[in-house]
Amino acid sequence: MIDNITDKKEIVVGVDIGGTNTVIGIVDLSNNILLENSFKTYPEKGVDNFFERLTIIIKEAYNKLEDKYVLTSIGLAAPGANYIKGTIESSVNLKWGNVNISKMMKKYFDIPVAILNDADAAAVGEYSLGVAQKMKNFIVLTLGTGLGSGIFVDGHLMNGENGLAGELGHIIIEQEGRECTCGRNGCLETYVSAAGIKRSVSYFLSVLNLESELKNISFNELTSKKVSELALNKDPVALKVFNYTGEILGKALANIVTIFNPEAIILFGGLADADELLLNPTTFYFEKNLLNFYKGKVRILKSGLQNGKAAVYGACEFAKESMVKNMINV
């Protein structure tokens, strides 16, 4: 006897489109993880090529499960995504210009597709499966090439009037400061991000007369991971860079707390994995600069989900919520 569709369990697909890698995850409605996969994004091959490959990978994954499950919706997380319009808008990492993802996916799938910003997805992922479960007010910072943020206020993801709320990476913290990809100067992410760490290395090498292995590495070869390795080996310039980055981040977060009064701030992404190198100075300068009545009340935590997974499960959760709340893009 062939199973009736109602005998099958519903599942959703979450996709986290990154500048380098794309991660997909499939979960059922109880958040049991059924399948995970990742592949190279190759954004330079163009948007059509990407969505053709993504479609094949989703369909191959679903083929393994369709005896027992039915795919009901897809959630896509991407940098620069706008959930209201269903678009990716000129992401610096993807360089696809303005793309209507809803339309692209409709060519291949006849089910609802929900889209959200990758930092918002990371926040939803922490809320559903990570360290922010049961929290109503928290902020997730994604520390990668840039600095993204997703903000929960009173139990809801903050979207804003145009779906563009929470661009904390572009708070100006230094007048006439470093040039930013947004075209302005002095944004937080020009200091607090993997790219910002590299720029701080160049700065401190030029103004400090200290012995450092960093002198032997060219700017193009340098990675924030290398800087953290050297800092763990007590390289004085690398340590100075992490202390400086933590000071800037801690002060900025102390200001941000006055607006949102969060229970916790969660650091997620490659730079957040730099052990306590970033967490310790950030927490120190955060507490030092907090308004008195917040002191000791706001925790700074690391992501509760393995690297790269918070956003993909946030995308799954968003796909489910979209079914329920009818916030459907397609």
Q: Which of 187, 256, 264, 298 binds Zn ion (CB under 5 A)?
A: 187
- In the region spanning residues 265 to 284, those forming contacts with Zn ion, defined by CB under 5 A, are none
Which span (63-71, 102-110, 170-178, 299-307) binds Zn ion, by CB under 5 A?
Answer: 170-178
Smallest distance from Zn ion to CB 126, Å: 24
87, containing H or E segment: strand 87-89
Smallest distance from Zn ion to CB 80, Å: 13
Q: Which of 173, 180, 239, 300 binds Zn ion (CB under 5 A)?
A: 180
SS3 category, 12: strand
Q: Which of 34, 84, 111, 182 binds Zn ion (CB under 5 A)?
A: 182
> 133, exposed or middle or buried, with CB in 10 Å at 0-12, 13-18, 19+?
exposed
Residue 187 vs 205, nearer CB to Zn ion: 187
Given a contact cutoff of 8 angstroms between Cβ atoms, the answer to whether 237 and 216 are in contact is: no
Residue 168 within binding range of Zn ion, rule CB under 5 A: no
Give the helix ranges, DSSP H, for the chain: 47-63, 101-106, 118-128, 194-207, 224-232, 236-260, 275-289, 309-325
Residue 170 within binding range of Zn ion, rule CB under 5 A: yes
Task: Tell me the torsion sign for CA atoms 83, 138, 316, 120.
Answer: positive
Question: 114-153 mask for Zn ion (x: CB under 5 A)?
Answer: ----------------------------------------
Smallest distance from Zn ion to CB 159, Å: 20
Query: To 10 degrees, what angle do helices 275-289 and 236-260 make?
Result: 50
Residues that bind Zn ion (CB under 5 A): 170, 180, 182, 187
